[in-house]
Amino acid sequence: MYELLFNLVLRRIDAERIHHLAMRVLRVVQAVPGLSALLRRLYAPQGPTARALGLEFPGPLGLAAGFDKNALVYEALGGLGFGHVEIGTVTGEAQPGNRRRRLFRLPADRALINRMSFNNRGAAAAVPRLRRPRHVIVGVNIGKTKAVPEERATADYVKSTRLLAPLADYLVVNVSSPNTPGLRNLQAVEHLRPLLKAVLEAKGATPLLVKIAPDLADEDVDAVADLALELGLDGIIATNTTIRRDGLVSGPALSAEIGGLSGAPVKRRSVEVLKRLKARTGDRLTLISVGGVETADDVRERLAAGATLVQAYTAMIYGGPLWAHRINRELARRS
C-alpha cells in the first residue's frame, strides 16, 4: 500500500515538504496520551536484544540521525519499531541550514541527496524536550555551527556537550557531514584529537562515539580507530553520507546535485569500513553500522561483520513508516 502511495503521490511532491508533513503527523501521535505506548506494544522489536554502551537495546535496528533534528518526535518514532532513535544533528547555535531545495530523492538508486547543513533550533532548545520522560533509547548527535570558524569548533562542540550529554543515552560527535564547510577537515587526527579530548572532559558519564565518513581513505579509517582506542571512546558510527556518485543510474539532473548521498549506493563502502574497523579494534569498541541498510539480510550482514547496532534512515523513506517493524519481524522469524 505504501509503495503504491509513494509511486503515485509522494514522489511527485518535494521531499522536504513530505518530511515536514510526516513530522506533523508524528507530533500529533506523540501528543495523544497513550498512543505512542500503544504503538510500542504493537510494533516493538520481537527479535534478539542488543547489549551496548551499558544499555539493553530492545533490538539492534535504530533510526539514524537526520530525521528528528530537534528531539520533537523520538517517542513516536520509537513506537514504529526502532530500538533506538538518534536525534540531531544538533549544533551549539540555532541555524536555518542551506537554502531550499536541499533534499532530493533518487528512486532509481533507492537513495537520497541532501545538503541540509544541520538545520536545527540549537542545543538549548533541545534541552527541555530531552528532559521529558521517555521510553526509547535516545542518542544525541552534535555538530559544528556553520557560522563558527574552524578554530573555534571545539568550543562549539563543548557547548552542545555540556547542555545535552547529561540528557542523552549516548553522545555522537559528527565530523563527517559534507554539508558544513570545513567540517570533514576535523576528521584528520591532528584536529580530531583535541576536539574529542575536550568533549570527553565535558561529557560526564555519557558514552561517547564519533561518526565518520565513507570517503575516508583506509589509512585514515585506521587512524581514527587507533585514536578512539587511545582516548577511550566508547564507539564509532560508520558511515555518514558520501560525496561520491559512482555507479548511479539516476540522470545527471539528480546525480549532479551537491550534497551527501545516502541509501543503497553507500552500502558497499559502509560494509568495507565496518569490517576494517572491526579488524582494527576487535571487541574494544561498540561499532554502529549505517549506510545502505534496506533488508533484514542487510542487518544480519552488519551484525556478522562486527556491528553491535545498525541504523537506517533512507530505507524508511522508501519503505514507509512500518519499515522497521517489518525488518524486526523478519529478524525474529529467522533468529
Q: Which domains does the chain have, with CATH numbers?
A: 2-333 (3.20.20.70)
Helical axes 296-304 vs 267-281, angle rounded to 10°: 30
Distance CA 114, CA 120 (A): 15
Regarding beta strands 309-312 and 286-290, do their DSSP bridges make them parallel or antiparallel, or are they unpaired?
A: parallel
Compute how many other C-beta atoms are within 10 angstroms of the C-beta atom of residue 297.
13
Distances (CA, A) of 71 to 129, 239, 323: 6, 22, 21
Burial class (CB in 10 A: 0-12, 13-18, 19+), 188: middle
Residues 6+ apart with CB under 8 A from 170: 53, 55, 139, 140, 206, 207, 208, 209, 234, 235
Could you tell me the pTM of the whole model? Answer: 0.97
Pair 102, 116: CB distance under 8 Å: yes
Q: Residues forming the annotated binding site? A: 65-69, 89, 141, 174, 179, 211, 239-241, 263, 292, 313-314
DSSP bridge partners of 143 = 91
Distance CA 257, CA 114 (A): 9
User: Any catalytic annotation for residue 335?
Assistant: no
Catalytic site residue from 36, 117, 160, 177: 177
Task: Render each residue's pLDDT in the chain as its tens digit; 335 residues.
Answer: 899 999 899 999 999 999 999 999 999 999 999 999 999 999 999 888 999 999 999 999 999 999 999 999 999 999 999 999 999 999 999 999 999 999 999 999 999 999 999 999 999 999 999 999 999 999 999 999 999 999 999 999 999 999 999 999 999 999 999 888 888 888 999 999 999 999 999 999 999 999 999 999 999 999 999 999 999 999 999 999 999 999 999 999 999 999 999 999 999 999 999 999 999 999 999 999 999 999 999 999 999 999 999 999 999 999 999 999 999 999 999 86
Q: Residues forming the annotated binding site for FMN? A: 65-69, 89, 141, 174, 211, 239, 263, 292, 313-314
Helical axes 189-202 vs 153-164, angle rounded to 10°: 30
Distances (CA, A) of 310 to 86, 189, 192, 214, 257: 12, 25, 24, 15, 28
